[in-house]
Amino acid sequence: MKILLIVFTLCSSISLVACGGSGSSSSSGGGADLNLNGMWRVHHHFNEGGDFIRTYTLTLVQTDNAVTGTDIVPDPGPGPSPDSPCDSRINSYSGEVTGNSFSGTVTSDIYTETFTVAGSSNYLEGGFTVTYPAGTCRGTYNGNMIMTRI
């Protein structure tokens, strides 16, 4: 009887540990399921006509849920580039991860873009809105966006 009690107690202890007993959780507590640290290629397409508007590579640095883009380099990619008056250097790139979604803002000297993409730590897709407040490209345009880890 004593041996059965010891075996039962031992088995119960192993079950609690294996199942995360005592109310423990496997969550990291940060709320971010994505790890975006590393180099990425970003493709933008306008909804009207499906033409490329912009392709670039960048390095994403993620600290908890906050993400910053650095080393942003234009990349001609497989499609046409935007007209030169509509293209410019990106001044800032920042966003936030929530679960498997990444939302952010991109600013340049002639436009502001907001985007939301979702997926995995290697591939994200979603939409963007870019606004040119003045100049030849003045207006607000929507499109889809794909981000792939490189």
Mean pLDDT of the chain: 78
- Name the strand (E) or helix (H) holding 13: helix 2-18
How large is the average pLDDT for residues 14-30? 38
Whether 20 maps to a domain, the answer reads no
Q: 127 or 74, which is more confident?
A: 127
Whether 55 maps to a domain, the answer reads yes
CATH of the domain at 133: 2.40.128.120
Whether 93 maps to a domain, the answer reads yes
The domain total for the chain is: 1
Residue 103 pLDDT > 80: yes
How large is the average pLDDT for residues 124-138? 91
Domain hosting residue 139, numbered range: 32-149
Residue 3 pLDDT > 50: no
Whether 85 maps to a domain, the answer reads yes
What pTM value is reported for the model?
A: 0.73
